[in-house]
Amino acid sequence: MVRPERNEIFHVMKFLHQFLDGCSRWITCVATTIVAMRARFTSSRPVELVEESDGDFALRIGGKDAAAEAGRIRIADGKVVGALPAALAARLKASRAELVLQPARFVFRPLELPRRAAEFLDGIVRSQVDRLTPWSAGEAAFGWSPPTDAGNDRIVVTVAATARALVTPLVEAVAGLGADQIVVSTPAQSPEGAAATIKVFEHTVRGALELRRVRHALAAVLIVAGLLAGAAVTAQVVVGSDLDARQDAAARQIATRRMAMRAGDAIGDTALAALERRKHETPSSVIVLEVLSQILPDHTYVTELRINGDKMQVVGVTRDAPSLIRLIEQTSHFTHATFFAPTTRSPTDPGERFHIEARIEPVFTPRT
């Protein structure tokens, strides 16, 4: 029996330290997601600020479908230049502002991926930012376009990125005007030529306090979970030592009983000998599986395996069914290999469907 090592408690404490060390990033990520999802259900007046070629921002009320421009503002050094008219300032209060920046501020890179990667774009793009752009994921504000079909079961997304330090002053300036939520995006041309907007940054001003509250709640949950886990591990170490001692005692009693059975009368010896002979004469399913996995070629797939007494029946798909008979009989574990059903070929199968049976030879020689 394996007894707990003295350094087991050290390993447990090290694991708990690593767990708690990684909780901070997890708490931030989950809290941000919760606050963002809550903000989506809160209606805010949409306001769009579109950057023009001269650096000014055209302010439109009502989003992208607004027909008329409501005004223009200029942002410099993280501040709005000049005073806004009272009507525009009132519109920006508690609004959802979308900053649409010029594409010249961004680096665009196409990224080709397998179609199945569409479900994991966030993690894939984040891991590729430092390779595709001059910035790391922490230094960049980045996003990607909707996936487009590239053929051969692959997709293409366009990654747009810029320095976070370039976006932050603009976001702070708009936040100073009273906007509750600020989204930064940029227009980009899709491979089909259609205009697509790529969101690269999102900031919720009102959610800062909510974020702290959610972080505290999640931290409390993790602390309780950590304490419970520590108590469970401690109980396992303490109780496990007692269980090991009991298992050792039970093992000694079993060994003593076996010795008494072997030294018993002729009836006991005969029964034990019969059991031992049956163990040696009965084919081992594990050994049969191991031998088949070694002799069958890579293009052969087993779909059904039956063992009845000393007979084995195997069903599957292969490219060359007759060659399997020779491979099976070459081993010392099987004899009298033959087909017990016709070999067929289905349009949906990658090869021939075979049905082979063989006699299993005993692995061990019975004791006399």
Burial of 8: CB neighbours in 10 Å, binned 0-12, 13-18, 19+: middle
Same domain, 196 and 288: no
The pLDDT value given to residue 68: 56
Q: What does the pLDDT read at residue 279? A: 62
Tell me, what's the pLDDT at 26?
77
pLDDT average, residue stretch 358-365: 74
> What pLDDT is stored for residue 357 in this prediction?
92
Comparison of pLDDT for 214 and 80, the residue scoring more: 80
Which of the two residues, 75 and 191, has the higher pLDDT score?
Answer: 75
User: Mean pLDDT across the chain, nearest whole number?
Assistant: 80
Give the model's confidence band at 28: pLDDT under 50 very low, under 70 low, under 90 confident, else very high. Answer: confident
88-102 average pLDDT score: 82
Residue 126 lies in a domain: yes
Residues 177 and 286 in one domain: no
pLDDT at 184: 93
Residue of higher predicted confidence among 351 and 68: 351
The pLDDT of residue 368 is above 70: no
Give first-to-last CA distance, the chain, whole Å: 33
Residues 57 and 145 in one domain: yes
Query: Considering the domain boundaries, does residue 321 fall inside one?
Result: yes
Domain-ending residue, one of 147, 170, 205: 205
Is it the case that residue 66 has pLDDT exceeding 50?
Answer: no
d(CA 306, CA 356): 11
Q: What band does 114 get if pLDDT is binned at 50, 70 and 90?
A: very high
The pair phi, psi for residue 15, each rounded to 5°, is -60, -45
- Confidence at residue 155, expressed as pLDDT on a 0 to 100 scale: 93
Average pLDDT rounded to a whole number, residues 54-80: 72
Per-residue pLDDT, averaged over 99-125, amounts to 90
Nearest Cα neighbor of 314 from 360, 357, 345 is 357
Q: Is the pLDDT of residue 14 over 90?
A: no
Question: Using the 8-state DSSP alphabet, how is residue 367 labeled?
Answer: P
* % of the chain residues with pLDDT over 90: 16
Judge if 163 and 306 occupy the same domain: no
- How confident is residue 269, by pLDDT bands cut at 50, 70 and 90? low
Residue 211: per-residue pLDDT: 67
**Could you tell me if 159 and 57 lie in one domain?**
yes
Q: What would the mean pLDDT of 95-107 be, rounded to a whole number? A: 88
Q: How far apart are CA 165 and CA 176, in angstroms?
A: 17
User: For 281-313, how does the pLDDT look when each residue is reduced to its tens digit (9 = 90+)?
Assistant: 566 678 888 888 888 888 888 888 888 888 888
CA-nearest of 290, 365, 295 to 330 is 295
C-alpha angle 295/297/298, rounded to 5°?
130
How many domains are contained in the chain? Answer: 2
Give domain status of residue 213, yes or no. Answer: no
Contact 288, 312 (CB under 8 A): yes
> Which of 181, 205, 229 is a domain's end point?
205
Parent domain of 65: 43-205
The string of DSSP letters for 82-150 reads SPPPHHHHHHHTTEEEEEE--GGGSEEEEEEEEGGGGGGHHHHHHHHHHHHSSS-TTTEEEEEPPPEEE
What does the alpha-carbon distance between residue 92 and residue 243 come to, in Å, rounded to a whole number?
68
Q: What pLDDT does residue 345 have?
A: 84
The pLDDT score that the predictor gives to residue 219 is 77
pLDDT top residue among 362 and 153: 153
Distances (CA, A) of 129 to 80, 135, 166, 254, 299: 31, 7, 17, 63, 40
- Examine the domain organization and report whether 196 and 311 are in the same domain: no
% of the chain exceeding 70 in pLDDT? 80
192, 302: one domain:
no
Question: Which DSSP symbol is given to 153?
Answer: T
Q: Do 178 and 311 belong to one domain?
A: no
Q: Find the range with the poorest average confidence among 52-56, 75-79, 192-196, 203-207.
A: 192-196
CATH of the domain at 87: 3.30.420
Q: What is each CA distance from 20 to 16, 25, 28, 138, 229, in whole angstroms? A: 6, 10, 13, 22, 12
* CATH number where 335 lies: 3.30.1360
Q: Tell me: do 179 and 297 sit in the same domain.
A: no
pLDDT at 185: 92
Average pLDDT over residues 335-340: 89
CA pair distance 204, 366, nearest whole angstrom: 78
Domain boundary among 205, 230, 249: 205
Count the helices and strands in the chain (H runs, E runs).
8, 16
Q: Specify the pLDDT at position 1.
A: 45
What are the C-alpha distances in Å from 133 to residues 6, 180, 194, 224, 272?
Answer: 49, 30, 24, 41, 74
The 8-class DSSP code of residue 196 comes to E
Q: What pLDDT sits at residue 256?
A: 87
Specify if 12 maps to a domain: no
Q: Which of 315, 356, 363, 306 is nearest to 336 (CA)?
A: 356
On whether residue 218 sits in a domain, the answer given is no
Q: How open is the CA angle 310-267-272, to the nearest 5 degrees?
A: 40
- pLDDT attached to residue 164: 92
For the cut 70, the answer to whether the pLDDT of residue 63 exceeds it is: no
My answer on whether 185 and 317 are in the same domain is no
Is there a domain that residue 164 lies in?
yes
Decide if 256 is inside a domain.
no
Residues 186 and 76 in one domain: yes
- What is the chain's alpha carbon radius of gyration, rounded to the nearest angstrom? 36
- Same structural domain for residues 291 and 144? no
Report if residue 18 sits inside a domain.
no
